[in-house]
Each structure stands twice: as C-alpha cells, then as structure tokens.
Amino acid sequence: MDAYHVTVLSNIGMISLIALSAYLLLVCGEISFGQQAYFGIGAYISGIATAMWGWPLWSGMLAGGLIGASAAAFVGALTLRINGFYFSIATLAFAEMMRLLLYVFRYQVEIGGELVGPDGENGFHGIRWIFENDISTVEFMWIIYGVLASVVAGMMFMERSRLGRIFRMIGQDDMLARMQGVNVLLYKVLAALIAGFIAGVGGSLYAHSFTYIEPQFFNVMLGVHGLAYGLIGGLGVAFGPLVGVAIDIGFLEAIRWIQGYRMIAFGGLVAVMLIFWPRGIFDEKRWYSIRRCLRRMCGAETS
C-alpha cells in the first residue's frame, strides 16, 4: 500500500465518522447542517490536550468527543424544541460561528523553544503525537479503523436496542412517538449529544492524522459532504454512511475522467438520489428485504 492509498483510506475512515454523526440525526428525523462544528471542536480540543498538555491520544480523543457532545447537546436543547427548520438553520449558524471563533482563538505555550497551540487564522501547528510516539501513517490508519469499527458496532448494537427503536419511532413520526409515551425532546437531544460525540472523536483523529489544522477545514463544505454521505448511503442501517463515503472518495476518486469534477458528479448524484430514493440506497425497506434474503440463504444452507 503506497502513501497515497493510505491517505485516501485514512480520509475515508475519518470522514465516515462525521457522516455517521449526521446519519444518527437523520434517523431521528432531524437534519443537521453543522456537524462540522463538533468535528472542529474535537480536533482543536484533542490537539490542545495532546500537544500542549501532554495527554495521551485516548484521553485527548475522549475529551474532544465529550466537549463536542456537550456543545451539540447545548445547541440541540435550545433549538430542537421548535421544529426541524430552525434546528437545521441553527446548526448551520452555530457551525459558522464556531469556525469564525477559531479564527480569533489564540492560546499558545512555549514547548521546546517553539510556540505551540491554536493561533487564529494561522491555524494550529505541531500536533505531533504520532511523531513523538513513533507511529507510522499505516499504523495510524489502523487506529482510525479500529475507532470506526467500534463506533459502527456500537451503533449497530444501539439500533437493535430500545434506544435505537425510540430513535426510529421519532424519525418516522414524532407525534405518534409522543402518543406512545416517548419524551421526544429528551431523546432528540440525546441523539444530538451522541452525534456530537462521534463527530468530536472523528475530529480528534483528523487533527492527529494531519498534525496541522486550521479553521477553514471545518467549513460548510465539510458539513455538506457529511450530510450527503449519510443520505446517499441510506437510513436503514448504520453502515449506510460508510457506503456513501466510499462512493464519493473511493469510487468517484478512482474514475480518471471525473477527476477535478468530483463534486459536480457527486452533488448531482445525491440530488438525483433525493428525487428517487429520498432515504438512500440502504433504506429501511431495502435493508429489510436484504436481511430476509440473507436469512433465507442461511436457512437453506442449514436445512
């Protein structure tokens, strides 16, 4: 595997996390245009934790995730009570607000005769955890995929649990969910919190993989992509967003003649998808039939 492929695969893994966080909210019927904010928060917080305070990666990642989660829950609690439109716009406003705040956020300390830390528009240099611990990009790729695998496994487990069912109920018909005795607002905020955590963890990995971050990375386009991946992959099953990421970064990137026009091709693809399959490739119905097929095949083999 050459360096280029390692980078592409690492990117797929990290972007998958923001796609998963958008997906979780989509399952609950809420559309967030601002998951990039929590991704950015996670990146900055974990970078500060490892590069400036000397924390290990895991604690930094946890901190990034937790701060991202609390920011998401804060935004959610304030705006989810109104209705979907306002939540979407508020997430967008919050994300841009965060990005602009990062432009003025300066907090640096001297380490080894060099200033380290976020420096406003000049970005945040020197998140050197992988160099200091002598971790190659391939090894870090495995770390990324380890984290991604546990997040996906956790989400698959959640989908089968009571919590997952509640999220789906709310997503399909929140009024009817309320009639079943579900405290809709509480669960929506909880979903926003979990989504914020996942995005924050993704951002932490991103900061440590690139070793340099700047506010411009966490712009609206990141959010557009995250949401598009969640939508195109399908809302039926938690690996849907991964399929979305793979289609864009993996498949379209590989086609020579699309190079340089990828966003045009992908944007068009998603827009057309929204017309015909508004709930993505693996939506609930298709996922149900796939599962039934699989069951039948397995049943045929055992009998």
Write out the residues near other proteins by the rule CB under 8 A.
Answer: 31, 33, 78-79, 82-86, 88-90, 93-94, 96-97, 100-101, 103-104, 120, 162, 165-166, 168-169, 172-173, 175-184, 219-221, 224-225, 227-228, 231, 236, 260-264, 266-268, 270-272, 274-275, 278, 283-285, 288, 292
| 59: CB partners within 8 A, 6+ apart | 49
- In the complex, the smallest distance separating the C-beta of residue 281 from other proteins, rounded to whole angstroms, is 15
Both tokens of 1, joined, read: 């595997």
111 bridge partner residues: 114
3-state helix, strand, coil in the chain (%, to 5): 75, 5, 20
> Which of residues 105 and 145 has its CB atom nearest to other proteins in the complex?
105
- In the complex, the smallest distance separating the C-beta of residue 127 from other proteins, rounded to whole angstroms, is 23
DSSP state letter for 279: T
Supply the angle between the helices 184-210 and 162-172 in degrees, to the nearest 10.
110
First to last CA, the chain: 42
- In the complex, the smallest distance separating the C-beta of residue 235 from other proteins, rounded to whole angstroms, is 9
> Which of residues 128 and 168 has its CB atom nearest to other proteins in the complex?
168
> Which of residues 113 and 180 has its CB atom nearest to other proteins in the complex?
180
Exposed (0-12), middle (13-18) or buried (19+): which is 219, by Cβ within 10 Å?
middle
> Which of residues 37 and 51 has its CB atom nearest to other proteins in the complex?
37
- In the complex, the smallest distance separating the C-beta of residue 57 from other proteins, rounded to whole angstroms, is 31
- In the complex, the smallest distance separating the C-beta of residue 167 from other proteins, rounded to whole angstroms, is 11
110 bridge partner residues: 115
> Which of residues 175 and 297 has its CB atom nearest to other proteins in the complex?
175
